C-alpha cells in the first residue's frame, strides 16, 4: 500500500466517523517553546489547554512534523528521521477510551478491501499504563485481545504530558509483531525492534503539576473534560505494509536514494559507510524541502540554522560519495514529485524552493573552501601548542560561522591525527540554544508567568478588539500584573500590565508595531507604550501608572494615540503595495519573509533566490506603487473563509496559523492579502512611498526599506537640497552629477594607487638599511622591530621578504610588527640557512605571540598573524630573541 493511500485511508476512516478533517498546520507556528511542529496535537494545544473553545467536538489530521534532537544519529540507524507524518484523531470532551480503542482497532485490523490496513489481529500487541485497568478491560472487550498480548508499563513509557504543568494522561500503545527473525519473544517489553509501535492513544484526563506522573508523581487534579489525542506514524505503517526493512526503503523516501545512486555510481546496501550517507541525503532532502516550503530560509539562527545544517550535511555526504557537481536541486525535484500529491504547495512553490537550495549549495561550496583554510590554521596551532585536541570554541566557530557540521570537523580532524573537544563544543551549542529560547520567551510573555495570562483568559474570556472601527472605548480592567505577578492594584510610578475586557489598542503582530496611548480612570492615568498578545485572544497593555492608582475591576476609558495609529496604518498598507509590486516584478518566488510597519517607515523582507534586485527593477516598483497612491483606490476589509480567500487569489503567508474565518485586505485591483492589521481607508492617504535600500539579510532573502507619507516627503526634500548643493559645488546641472562624481572618484582612486605605490617603494628602499642593522644572536642574523603604524599585511610581507633576501646566505630571521591602534600585525620570514638550523617561521610564532595577545602561523619560510596588544611588541622581540638563543644551544 502506497504511503499516500495510507494517509487517505486514515482521514477517510475518521471523517466517516464524524471527525472534522483539519489540514496539516505549517511546520512553523507562533510558539516560543517549539522550533518546529513536532507532534500531531500541536495545532490543537489551545483547545487542550482551554485557551480557546474547540470549533468541533472531534477532529482528524495528518500533520507534517520535524524533530531535530537526534539529527546526528540520522543515517547511523534506520530508526531516526527528522521529517515524518503523524496521523491523529482528537476528541475534545466527546468520546473517550472506548471510542478511541474502537476506532483504532477497526482501522488497523479491517481488511484492505474494506478500507482498513489489514494487519493480522493475531500479531497485534498493546501496552497500557500500569494502573489503567479500564484500558485493559476495553482491549479485551473491543478487540478480544488475550491477556498475554496486553502489557502494563510505567510512566516513562505509557504516560503522556507536555513537559510542563497542564493536561496529561495515560497512554495505550499499539505494536505489530514483525516476527521471530527480527528479535526475541516477549512483546514490546522484551524487544521494540521486533514489536514495532505504530500508534499511541493518549487518554487526556489529568492535570499535572510541577512534577510529572511520568516520574510517578501523582496528578494534581482531573480535567473538566476528558480528551483523546492519538498519533499514528505514517512512515512506520508504510514500511510494514510495503514489506520493506525500514522507512528509507518506502515509496516516498527510496526515490531520493535512487537518485543519489545514479549520480554517484555507488549502490545502497553495498557498503555500511556509504549507506549512512545515502540515508542522510534521503532524510535531510525531505526535511529541507518541506521546511523551505513552509517559508524557512537558511540562516545562522534558530530555524534557519537547522535548515542550513540539513542542507549542508547533504552536500557533504554527496561529496563523500564522490559527486562534485551541484546536487540539491536534483534531490529537491525528487521530493517534489513524491510529496507533491499530498502537499501541492510544493509544486506551486517549487521555483522558489529550487532557488533557495541552489543558492545555499553555492554559498556552502564557497564557505567550505574558506572554512577549510580556517580549520587548517586551527589544526596547525593545535599541533604547535603540543596538543592533540582541537578546542571546542574553534569547532563551534566553524559550526556557527561557516556552517560546518560537527561530523565534518571531526572527520577533518581525524585525517590530521587530532581529536575534537566535543564536550566544549556541545556546551557552547547548548548555551546558544538556551539564549535563543530565553530571548524568544521573554519577547513573547515579558516577565510574567504564562500561567497568569491563561488564568485571566480562563476567568474572563478573550479581549474584545474594537480597534478596526474605534480608537476609544469604555472598558473594564479584568487583569493586572505588576512585577510579573497578578495584582489587585498598581500605584503611581509602577510598571504594569493591564488586561481590559474590550480594547481599541492593536497588539503587535503581523509585522505591525503595537498602538500606544492612555488608559484613564477615576483619578488615574496609565501611559500605554506596548501591547502584546502572550496567549491567543488576550491583549495585554504594558505601560506605567503616571498618576493615581489603578484598581482591578475598575471602569476606565481607553484611547489610542491617533497620529501614531494613522502613521503605522499608512506603513502597513504601503507594505502590501510594495509586496504586490515586488511579486509583479520578480514572480511568485518573491514571497514575504518578514516585515516591520512603524510610523513613517517600513521594512519588507522577501525571498529572492536570484540574488540582488537590480536598481532599475526597484525604481519600477516604486513608480508603480506611487501610481496606485495617485489612483486613490478603495481599501476594503472582508471576513471570509480561508478556502474562499484563496479562491479570490488572496496571498497567505508561510508559518501563519489561520482559523476558519480570515480577514482579507484588498487595495483596488492591485493587492489582496490575508491580514489582521490596521490599514488606511483609501490608498491616497498613504501620500508618498520612497524605497531607500535593498540588501541581503541571509541566503536567498532580501530586505527593502522605505519611508512613507510625510517622512518620505521630508526625505525627498532633503535630497533635493543636497543635490542642489552638490550641483553648485561641482558646477554642473543636477542630471550631470553622477557622471561628474564618478570621474572625481576615479581620479581619487588613481591617486590613492599611486600613493600606495610610492609608499611601497619607500618601504622597500629601507630593506637594505634594516638588513645592515641586523643583530647577531648566536650566529643568526635577527631583524626584529616595529615598523611605522598602519602598514598593511601585503606591504609588511613584501618588506620582510626583501629584508630576508638582503641577509644573503647566512642564517637569518626577520620579524616585523605594525600597529593599528591597540591591534598589531606581524610577519616572520626565515632564510634557507636558518631553516636548515631548525628555525622555521611557523614554529617561532608561539614563542612570542602571547606577549602581544595574539596568534598566527604559516609555513617554515613565512608566517604571519596578529594580536590585540600593540604595547607588547618590545616583549615579543625579547621573547623571539630568547627562542633563537635557546635553539642554538
Q: How far is CA 486 from CA 154, 406, 447, 506, 554, in A?
A: 38, 45, 12, 23, 15
Paired residues of 227 in beta bridges: 92, 204
Contact 445, 464 (CB under 8 A): no
Please return the burial class of 501, using the count of CB atoms within 10 Å of its CB with bins 0-12, 13-18 and 19+: middle
- Write the DSSP assignment of 222-288 as a string of letters: EEEEEEEEEEEEHHHHHHHHTT-SSGGGSTTTHHHHHHHHHHH---TTS-HHHHHHHHHHHHHHHHH
Q: Where are the alpha helices (DSSP H) in 405-508?
A: 406-415, 422-445, 450-460
Residue (of 510, 505, 497) closest to 464 by Cα position: 505
Q: How far is CA 347 from CA 8, 190, 337, 450, 587, in A?
A: 19, 44, 8, 39, 15
Q: Is 399 annotated as a binding residue?
A: no
State the first-to-last Cα distance of the chain, in angstroms, to the nearest integer. 80
- Write the DSSP assignment of 758-774 as a string of letters: HHHHHHHHTHHHHHHTP
Q: Is 679 annotated as a binding residue?
A: yes
**What's the distance, CA 412 to chain centroid?**
27
H helix or E strand, kind and range, residue 585: helix 562-586
| Strand pairing class (701-708; 601-607) | antiparallel
Q: Which residues contact 839 (CB under 8 A, 6 or more apart)?
A: 780, 811, 813, 830, 884, 887
**Reduced to 3 states, what is the DSSP secondary structure of residue 835?**
helix
Instruction: Name the DSSP letter for residue 56.
Output: S
Q: Is 171 annotated as a binding residue?
A: no
Contact 706, 604 (CB under 8 A): yes
Helix axes 328-339, 302-320, angle to 10 degrees: 110
Q: Is 284 annotated as a binding residue?
A: no
d(Cα 406, Cα 399) in Å, to the nearest integer?
6
Q: Which residues contact 791 (CB under 8 A, 6 or more apart)?
A: 763, 799, 818, 825
What's the order of all strands across the beta sheet hosting 635-641? 635-641, 661-667, 671-674
Known binding site for Zn(2+): residues? 572, 576, 675, 679
Known binding site: residues? 572, 576, 675, 679
Amino acid at each position: 500500500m502506497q504511503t499516500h493511500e495510507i494517509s487517505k485511508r486514515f482521514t477517510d476512516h475518521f471523517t466517516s466517523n464524524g471527525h472534522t478533517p483539519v489540514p496539516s498546520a505549517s511546520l512553523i507556528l507562533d510558539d516560543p517553546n517549539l522550533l518546529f511542529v513536532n507532534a500531531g496535537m500541536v495545532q490543537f494545544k489551545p483547545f487542550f489547554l482551554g485557551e480557546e473553545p474547540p470549533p468541533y467536538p472531534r477532529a482528524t489530521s495528518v500533520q507534517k512534523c520535524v524533530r531535530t534532537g537526534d539529527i546526528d544519529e540520522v543515517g547511523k540507524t534506520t530508526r531516526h528521521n527528522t521529517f515524518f507524518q503523524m496521523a491523529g484523531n482528537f476528541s475534545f470532551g466527546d468520546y473517550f477510551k472506548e471510542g478511541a480503542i474502537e476506532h483504532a482497532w477497526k482501522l488497523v485490523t479491517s481488511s484492505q478491501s474494506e478500507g482498513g490496513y489489514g494487519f493480522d489481529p493475531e500479531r497485534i500487541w498493546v501496552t497500557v499504563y500500569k494502573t489503567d485497568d479500564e484500558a485493559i478491560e476495553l482491549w479485551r472487550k473491543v478487540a478480544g485481545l488475550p491477556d498475554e498480548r496486553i502489557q502494563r508499563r510505567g510512566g516513562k513509557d505509557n504516560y503522556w504530558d507536555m513537559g510542563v504543568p497542564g493536561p496529561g494522561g495515560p497512554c495505550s500503545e499499539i505494536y505489530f509483531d514483525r516476527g521471530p527473525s527480527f528479535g526475541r519473544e516477549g512483546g514490546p517489553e522484551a524487544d521494540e525492534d521486533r514489536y514495532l509501535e505504530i500508534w499511541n492513544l493518549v487518554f487526556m484526563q489529568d492535570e499535572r503539576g510541577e512534577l510529572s506522573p511520568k516520574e510517578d508523581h501523582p496528578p494534581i487534579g482531573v480535567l473538566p473534560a476528558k480528551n483523546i489525542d492519538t498519533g499514528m506514524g505514517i512512515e512506520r505503517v508504510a514500511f510494514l505494509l510495503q514489506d520493506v526493512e525500514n522507512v528509507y526503503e518506502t515509496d516516498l523516501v527510496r526515490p531520493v536514494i535512487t537518485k543519489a545512486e545514479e549520480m554517484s555510481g555507488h549502490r545502497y546496501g553495498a557498503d555500511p559507510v556509504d549507506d549512512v550517507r545515502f540515508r542522510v541525503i534521503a532524510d535531510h532532502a525531505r526535511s529541507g524541502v518541506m521546511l523551505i516550503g513552509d517559508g524557512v530560509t537558511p540562516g545562522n539562527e534558530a530555524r534557519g540554522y537547522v535548515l542550513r545544517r540539513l542542507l549542508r550535511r547533504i552536500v557533504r555526504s554527496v561529496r563523500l560519495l564522490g559527486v562534485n557537481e551541484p546536487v540539491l536541486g536534483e534531490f529537491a525535484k525528487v521530493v517534489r514529485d513524491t510529496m507533491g500529491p499530498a502537499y501541492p504547495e510544493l509544486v506551486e512553490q517549487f521555483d522558489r524552493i529550487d532557488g533557495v537550495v541552489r543558492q545555499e549549495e553555492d554559498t556552502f561550496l564557497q564557505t567550505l573552501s574558506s572554512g577549510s583554510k580556517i580549520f587548517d590554521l586551527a589544526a596547525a596551532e593545535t599541533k604547535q601548542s603540543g596538543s592533540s585536541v582541537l578546542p571546542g570554541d574553534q569547532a563551534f566557530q566553524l559550526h556557527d560561522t561557516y556552517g560546518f557540521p560537527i561530523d565534518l570537523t571531526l572527520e577533518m580532524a581525524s585525517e590530521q591525527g587530532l581529536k575534537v573537544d566535543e564536550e566544549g563544543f556541545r556546551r557552547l551549542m547548548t548555551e546558544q540554544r538556551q539564549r535563543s529560547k530565553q530571548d524568544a520567551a521573554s519577547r513573547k510573555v515579558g516577565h510574567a508567568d504564562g500561567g497568569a495570562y491563561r488564568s485571566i483568559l480562563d476567568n474572563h474570556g478573550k479581549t474584545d478588539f474594537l480597534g478596526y472601527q474605534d480608537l476609544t472605548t469604555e472598558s473594564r480592567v479584568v487583569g493586572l500584573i505588576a512585577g510579573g505577578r497578578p495584582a489587585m492594584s498598581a500605584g503611581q510610578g509602577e510598571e504594569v500590565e493591564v488586561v481590559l475586557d474590550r480594547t481599541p489598542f492593536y497588539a503587535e503582530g503581523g509585522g505591525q508595531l503595537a498602538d500606544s496611548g492612555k488608559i484613564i480612570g477615576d483619578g488615574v492615568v496609565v501611559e500605554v507604550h506596548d501591547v502584546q498578545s502572550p496567549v491567543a485572544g488576550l491583549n495585554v497593555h504594558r505601560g506605567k501608572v503616571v498618576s493615581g492608582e489603578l484598581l482591578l475591576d475598575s471602569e476606565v476609558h481607553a484611547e489610542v494615540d491617533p497620529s501614531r495609529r494613522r502613521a503605522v496604518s499608512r506603513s502597513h498598507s504601503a507594505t502590501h503595495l510594495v509586496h504586490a509590486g515586488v511579486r509583479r516584478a520578480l514572480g511568485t518566488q518573491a514571497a514575504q519573509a518578514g516585515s516591520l510597519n512603524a510610523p513613517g517607515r517600513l521594512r519588507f523582507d522577501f525571498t529572492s533566490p536570484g540574488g540582488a534586485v537590480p536598481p532599475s527593477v526597484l525604481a519600477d516598483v516604486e513608480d508603480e506603487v506611487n501610481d496606485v497612491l495617485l489612483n486613490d483606490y478603495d481599501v476594503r476589509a472582508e471576513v471570509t473563509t480561508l478556502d474562499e480567500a484563496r479562491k479570490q487569489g488572496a496571498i497567505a503567508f508561510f508559518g501563519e496559523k489561520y482559523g476558519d474565518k480570515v480577514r482579507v485586505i484588498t487595495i483596488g485591483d492591485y493587492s489582496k492579502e490575508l491580514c489582521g492589521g490596521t490599514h488606511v481607508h483609501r490608498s491616497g492617504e498613504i501620500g508618498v512611498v520612497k524605497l531607500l535600500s535593498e540588501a541581503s539579510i541571509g541566503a536567498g532573502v532580501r530586505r527593502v526599506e522605505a519611508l512613507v507619507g510625510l517622512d518620505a516627503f521630508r526625505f525627498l526634500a532633503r535630497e533635493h537640497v543636497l543635490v542642489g548643493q552638490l550641483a553648485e559645488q561641482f558646477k554642473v546641472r543636477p542630471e550631470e552629477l553622477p557622471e561628474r562624481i564618478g570621474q572625481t572618484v576615479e581620479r581619487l582612486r588613481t591617486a590613492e594607487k599611486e600613493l600606495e605605490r610610492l609608499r611601497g617603494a619607500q618601504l622597500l628602499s629601507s630593506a637594505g638599511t634594516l638588513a645592515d642593522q641586523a643583530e647577531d644572536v648566536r650566529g643568526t642574523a635577527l631583524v626584529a622591530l616595529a615598523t611605522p603604524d598602519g602598514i598593511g599585511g601585503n606591504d609588511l610581507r613584501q618588506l620582510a621578504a626583501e629584508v630576508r633576501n638582503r641577509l644573503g646566505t647566512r642564517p637569518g630571521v626577520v620579524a616585523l610588527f605594525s600597529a593599528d591602534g591597540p591591534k598589531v600585525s606581524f610577519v616572520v620570514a626565515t632564510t634557507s640557512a636558518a631553516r636548515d638550523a631548525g628555525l622555521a617561521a611557523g614554529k617561532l610564532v608561539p614563542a612570542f605571540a602571547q606577549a602581544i595577545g595574539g596568534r598566527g602561523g604559516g609555513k617554515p619560510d613565512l608566517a604571519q598573524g596578529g594580536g590585540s596588544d600593540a604595547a607588547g611588541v618590545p616583549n615579543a622581540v625579547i621573547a623571539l630573541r630568547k627562542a633563537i638563543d635557546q635553539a642554538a644551544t
